[in-house]
A = this chain, B = another copy of it.
Amino acid sequence: METTMMHLPMTVQMIMDHGRNVFPDSRVGTFDGDSMVYTSYAEIADNAARLAAALQSLGIVPGDRVATFSWNNTAHMEAYLGIPSMGAIMHTVNIRLSAEHIAYIINHAENRVVLLDASLLDVFSPVLPLLKTVEHILLIGEGELITDIPTQDYRQLLAANKPLQDWPELDETSAAAVCYTSGTTGNPKGVVYSHRTTFVHSLASRGVDTFGICESDRILLLPAMFHANAWGMPYSGWFSGSDFTLPGPHLQPEGIKRMIALEKPTVTATVPTILGDLLRADSADLDMTCFRSIICGGSSVAPAMIDAARERWGVPVLQGWGMTETSPLCTVSHPPRDFTGADETQWRTKSGRPVAGMQVRVIDEEGNPLPHDGETVGELQLRGPWVTGGYHKGDSPDSVSDDGWLRTGDVGHIDQRHFVQLTDRTKDVIKSGGEWISSVELEDIIAGHPNVQQAAVVATADERWQERPLVIVVAEEGIDAQQLREYLKDKVARFWIPEYWSFTDDIPKTSVGKLDKKRLRDMNESGALKVEVIR
């Protein structure tokens, strides 16, 4: 007995069409630093169709790669819709990478066209001489570019082209977009999303128990559209008819506060650092009660911040775990329905349960599955309809297990209801005399000290224990290692308490704002850190 169902490919075209047809009046606002510039869905869809026609006129055919190098703005949304829908592949280039890495990934993905945000000319200029495949640059906004690569004004080119009417029929397993990992070790690696994975991920994201994106949402899109698809919200929001607030380059606390005042967003996604900024902001000119939820990811959120957001604003913090390799949604930390008010924060500090369709397991060093007991720590591995099974051009072939699960490089445990708790990165975990110490847990606890601003923990060589934790800490004057060791005494196992301490003014971050532990380890090995040892 064969299925009788029609096989309609699930594509970005469908997402684009749905937003345009059902929600023509929904709007996308881009912040100019002072006020909002609005564009309707109808107009954005029209521009996406003009962009597709323009790219065709430049010789772009299905399968070709078109890069974006841009902040979150209206043109970027047009690219998200128009490029994949014409069968080309959108490459969202991470503007925070080094010029060498930017050139590397544009060359590696063989991009023929770059959509370049004029406000990023300074960042992009050093990349220009290194490019090998780019034939056209479309400049969005005012600016001058010194290059032999033919350059056109994006808006003029769109105006000169009629909206594309005949969109190609696409195979749903064809590539829609490519995004490179931030490459904290080695060269960045390309994850190539298909139309199908983007479509299904968008549907999943709209679930009540996922992000619950819906028509009445006003999304403050703080996650970068150049990194991990901005948590998939450009597509899930458009599919739902949500209004968008796009910050452009204005990601400082003052700008964010202004956008919140202007737009009263219902939902945002951000990193703990920004949430901390908002919590520290003067509450007199910041009304956060408009939010139904603040999604937090990238690194773990301190319980004190979750408590503060609830107590001060009445806003639940929704922690999520995701990565470029997973489109990016893996888990979200909705408390289970049998939670009591008292334990709410405890649930919200977890990494969460798998989104419907995602599967997660925990594995020991020999590749054997470990029990889901909420304690046993091992490497976390994932499978699902929107998970990568490798990297472009076969990079890092060992990133997937023999039986087809993605090795996340994250370490943690899973409980009987599949609540996942990340405890560390595989490469950051500290192996001290055969026992594992979680660098992340130590960081969270130390950063919870009222006089500590930031803390990073990496392994340092130790004669007796092979590895011991080294704490790099930014603290108020007068705070010393002995005080912090005292502070830790009733909070962690005794063997976790670090002997190695380095006080500094700033901790280096990666291109996406995470603690740059690779750099810290290098600095430690080369003697660039001033380390005191207290036993």
Query: Measuring CB to CB, which residues of chain A are less than 8 angstroms from any residue of chain B?
Result: 1-8, 10, 14, 17-18, 21-25, 63, 65, 89, 109-110, 173-176, 178, 190-194, 196-197, 199-200, 202-204, 206-209, 212-216, 239-241, 334, 336-338, 353-354, 356-357, 359, 383-392, 400, 404, 406, 416-418
Rounded to whole angstroms, the CA-CA distance of A239 and B2 in the bound complex is: 25
Q: Compute how far the CA of A356 lies from the CA of B21 in the bound complex, rounded to whole angstroms.
A: 11
10 A-B Cβ contacts within 8 A?
A1-B392, A3-B173, A4-B192, A4-B388, A5-B386, A6-B400, A17-B359, A22-B417, A203-B207, A209-B240
Cα distance, A6 to B389, chains bound together (Å): 4
Q: Which residue of B lies closest to A91 (CB)?
A: B1
User: Bound state CA distance, A404 and B9, in angstroms?
Assistant: 13
**Which of the listed residues A21, A207, A386 has the most CB atoms from chain B within 10 Å of its own CB?**
A207
Residues B207 and A5 in contact, CB atoms below 8 Å apart: no
Most B CB within 10 A of own CB, among A25, A191, A206, A404 = A206
Tell whether, in the assembled complex, residue B197 and residue A207 are in contact, meaning their CB atoms are under 8 Å apart: no
Alpha-carbon separation in the docked complex, A207 to B276 (Å): 31
A202: B residues at CB distance < 8 A? 356
* Residue of B5, B192, B215, B391 touching A209 (CB-CB under 8 A): B215
Q: Is A5 in contact with B356, judged by CB distance below 8 angstroms? A: no
Closest to A216 in B: B337
> A388 with B1: in contact, given A206-B209, A215-B209, A240-B207 (CB under 8 Å)?
no
Residues A215 and B389 in contact, CB atoms below 8 Å apart = no
Residue with the highest number of chain B CB atoms closer than 10 Å, among A3, A200, A384, A390: A3
**Does A356 lie within 8 Å of B239, measured CB to CB?**
yes
| Bound Cα distance A383, B7 (Å) | 10
Docked pose: A137 CA to B176 CA in angstroms: 49
Structural contact, A6 and B417, CB atoms closer than 8 A: no
State how many angstroms separate the Cβ of A132 from the closest Cβ of chain B. Answer: 16
**Contact B417–A356 (Cβ < 8 Å):** no
B65 contacts A5, C-beta separation under 8 Å? no
Question: Do residues B203 and A200 form an inter-chain contact, with CB atoms below 8 A?
Answer: yes
Chain B residues positioned under 8 Å from A212 (CB to CB): 208
A200 in contact with B10 (CB, 8 Å): yes
A23 contacts across to B, CB distance below 8 A: 417
* CB proximity of A9 to chain B, nearest CB, Å: 9
- Give 9 closest A-B pairs by Cβ, nearest first: A6-B389, A208-B214, A3-B194, A206-B207, A203-B203, A4-B192, A22-B418, A5-B197, A216-B337
Q: Given A24-B417, A200-B10, does the pair A3, B192 have CB atoms closer than 8 Å?
A: yes
Residue of A24, A336, A354, A385 most packed against chain B (CB within 10 A)? A385
Q: Which residues of B contact A10 (CB under 8 A)?
A: 200, 357, 385
Contact B209 A214 (CB under 8 A): yes
Query: Chain B residues near A387 (CB, 8 Å)?
Result: 5-6, 8
Contact A356:B206 (CB < 8 A) given known A1-B109, A383-B6: yes
Minimum CB–CB distance for A2 against chain B, Å: 7
Q: 4 extra interchain contacts, Cβ-Cβ under 8 A, other than A3-B174, A6-B406?
A: A4-B389, A5-B192, A5-B389, A208-B213
- How far does the alpha carbon of A206 sit from the alpha carbon of B240 in the complex, in Å? 13
- Chain B residue nearest to A196 (CB atoms) is B5
Say yes or no: A418-B353 contact (C-beta < 8 A), given A193-B5, A208-B213, A388-B5. Answer: no
Contacts of A18 in B (CB 8 A): 354, 356-357
Whether B416 and A24, one on each chain, are in contact in the complex, defined by CB atoms closer than 8 angstroms, is: yes
Cβ of A215 and Cβ of B337 under 8 Å apart? yes
Contact A418 B192 (CB under 8 A): no
In the complex the two chains form, what is the Cα distance from A165 to B203 in whole Å?
30
Take A5-B194, A193-B3, A334-B215 as given contacts and tell me if A418 and B21 are in contact as well, using a CB distance cutoff of 8 Å: yes
A416 to B25, CA, bound (A): 10
Name A6's contact: one of B2, B207, B353, B388 (CB within 8 Å). B388
* Distance (whole angstroms) from the CB of A399 to the closest CB of chain B: 10
Chain B positions within 8 Å of A417 at CB level: 22-25
Kindly list chain B residues whose C-beta atoms are within 8 Å of the C-beta of A389.
4-7
Chain B residues within an 8 Å CB radius of A5: 192-194, 196-197, 386-389
Contacting residues, chain B, for A359 (C-beta < 8 A): 14, 17
Distance, CA A10 to CA B386, complexed state (A) = 11
Nearest B residue to A390, CB-CB? B4
Query: Using Cβ atoms and an 8 Å threshold, which residues of chain B touch A400?
Result: 6
Nearest B residue (CB) for A14 = B357
Closest to A194 in B: B3
Assess the A89–B1 pair: CB atoms within 8 A. Answer: yes
Q: A209-B214, A212-B208, A214-B207 are in contact. Are A383 and B336 (CB under 8 A)?
A: no
> A215 contacts which chain B residues (CB < 8 A)?
209, 334, 336-337
Please name the residue on chain B nearest to A382 by beta carbon: B6
The residues of B that contact A109 with a CB separation of less than 8 Å are 1
